[in-house]
Structure 1
């Protein structure tokens, strides 16, 4: 089978590219710079439906997630991808929302919602994976180092705030299942831990893996923002801080179990301890 994988040099696409290649599939990375890929690659431009259409021609499956950008840029990307899918008509498309919502609180569609709608209208077989929050956020030095050195897992969520955490490794397992063995599953597939995890649950996983006591500490979002600003810059951090402030007014971030990967695919996400082990932490 032939597959096109977007983001094959990044956190989401790379493990999918690797799993498909390891399974013996004809796998091509769709990237801006083909020199960064050790394997088959095709250069694509997310602004160009023609470029994407050419890449998708004849593919059995395409994995895609929207690149980072302003809301307007992401709408442009979503429109180009949707147009390319409608024209090239690959046999299957799997799209990850990367944790972004399909709609805003006022009901207006985000770029991710626009692409979801375009895939639905295309008539092409598709699935949309909707994770909440990635475990890899906990690997930033500002979080991982205190857990290792001080036994304090600090993160800007309330102590009673439950999240259906998911790792990029689990996302890859789900995406590959949807591209290969479960092509009959259509529409939204939620991805994350069931039951959802509290901060204490995360700390317990770290404790078991590091073989030392680790306790969770709820962190002020602004304090967290100050720590990550040197890593991402003030402009990049501003929306992140805003998202964590918003979480303080939300009850939780639990996935819909009826549309979960556990229910639809029989895929259960790794425990925190297993994820840390598989990441080689």
Structure 2
């Protein structure tokens, strides 16, 4: 698996986690202000790979790439303009030591909603597509 910043802790989350929090906030008007969504503590690249390995049942390693390399991978999927924005975002992140949500404003604390682990998210994705971990690993 390739990614950016091998030793950069980030509050990883799935789009499904964001949807869970958004749905709650649309129906629970008692919570106002900022609500952070993501893992606490933040995950590093090798921990993301471990989540894939756990679900797929084989070793997965994390290979660091540059923001420009990542942008080149994203351009065919999202277009050049979106890829340029992604590159700019990750170049900005390169200037900080971490991207971690605050525990005080986290969905875990404010809404009692825990984000999925990487392995849980991947398992759900494989289940939705009718793909077993064994097939995905092949």
TM-score tier, shorter chain, comes to 0.7 to 0.9
Aligned residues: 127
Q: Which protein is bigger by CA-based radius of gyration?
A: 1
CA–CA distance in 2 between the matches of 1:196 and 1:169?
A: 18
Q: Which residue of 1 aligns with 2:48?
A: 202
Select the residue among 113, 120, 124 that pairs with 1:274: 120
3-state secondary structure, aligned to 2:92: helix
CA–CA distance in 1 between the matches of 2:104 and 2:91?
A: 29
CA–CA distance in 2 between the matches of 1:173 and 1:244?
A: 26
Alignment RMSD (CA, Å): 1.4
Select the residue among 91, 97, 100 that pairs with 1:245: 91
Q: Which has the higher strand share?
A: 1
CA displacement 1:153-174 (0-9 Å, x = unmatched): 101x211101101112111221
TM-score w.r.t. length of structure 1? 0.43
TM-score w.r.t. length of structure 2? 0.85
Quote how far apart the aligned CAs of 1:183 are: 2.3
CA–CA distance in 2 between the matches of 1:179 and 1:273?
A: 28
Describe the shift of the 1:274–1:237 C-alpha distance in structure 2 as closer, same or farther (beyond 3 A).
Answer: same
Q: Which residue of 2 aligns with 1:220?
A: 66
3-state secondary structure, aligned to 1:188: coil
Moved over 3 A (4+): none
Q: Which has the higher helix share?
A: 2
Unaligned runs of 5+ in 1: 1-152
Q: Which residue of 2 aligns with 1:159?
A: 6
Higher relative contact order (CA 8 A, sep 6+): 2
CA–CA distance in 1 between the matches of 2:8 and 2:61?
A: 15
